[in-house]
Amino acid sequence: MNKNELIAEIAEIADLTKTKAADALDAFITAVGAALAAGEEIRLVGFGTFAVAQRKATEGRNPRTGKPIKIAASKQPKFRAGKQLKEQVNTTAKKKAA
């Protein structure tokens, strides 16, 4: 599913216009990004948790030359699925397999 398909699905489920659904999705994405950039964690009970994980600096290798390179420390966004979302995915997968 791409963004336009997701917008259409949100519009249908929430009985909104596609424009309003697109605005809502864009606002959600902006709010999550801003909160993560500020170092906050977002918990949506039943759905999951968005958080920022710190990656340590490491040493890698250039695949072309084999020379060692330094990989800088960075912050990575992470998502951990909640119990309800996991159950929904597993239930749907079982129905499709049957």
The pLDDT tens digits for 81-95 are 999 999 999 987 677
DSSP 52-95: EEEEPPEEEE-TTT--EEEE--EEEEEEEE-HHHHHHHHHHHHH
Residue range 67-78: mean pLDDT, rounded: 95
When divided into structural domains, the chain yields a total of 1
The domain that holds 73 is classified in CATH as 4.10.520.10
Residues 6+ positions from 17 with CB-CB distance below 8 Å: 11
Could you give the 3-state DSSP secondary structure of residue 44? strand
* Whole-number pLDDT of residue 31: 97
Q: Give the C-alpha separation, 76 to 40, whole Å.
A: 13
Domain that holds residue 79: 3-97
| pLDDT tens by residue, 5-63 | 999 999 999 999 999 999 999 999 999 999 999 999 999 999 999 999 999 999 999 99
Three-state SS at 40? coil
